[in-house]
Amino acid sequence: MTNRTKERLNTLLLALAALFVLWFVLSRLRIIVVTFLPWWMLALLLLVAGLVLFLAVDQLMSRRK
């Protein structure tokens, strides 16, 4: 295997392991959120939080190279 293929395989395995751990932890939690926000404001808040999380992970992954 080439070095690049091994690197991609390791990244894929790490991502799968992280997803499994995240699923395992979240499956044990029972989160109840009570909000007094309109549905569109809550959707916007979740969208912004997801975007921030995505950009943070992207920044961390690009530093590794």
User: How high is the pLDDT of residue 64?
Assistant: 60
For the chain, the structural domain boundaries read 1-31, 33-65
User: How high is the pLDDT of residue 10?
Assistant: 82
The arithmetic mean of pLDDT across residues 6-35, rounded, is 83
Is the pTM value of this prediction over 0.85? no
> Burial level of 59, CB count in 10 A (0-12/13-18/19+)?
exposed
Q: Look at residue 65 and tell me whether its pLDDT is greater than 80.
A: no
Question: For 23-58, how does the pLDDT look when each residue is reduced to its tens digit (9 = 90+)?
Answer: 888 888 877 777 788 989 989 999 999 999 888 888
User: How high is the pLDDT of residue 61?
Assistant: 78
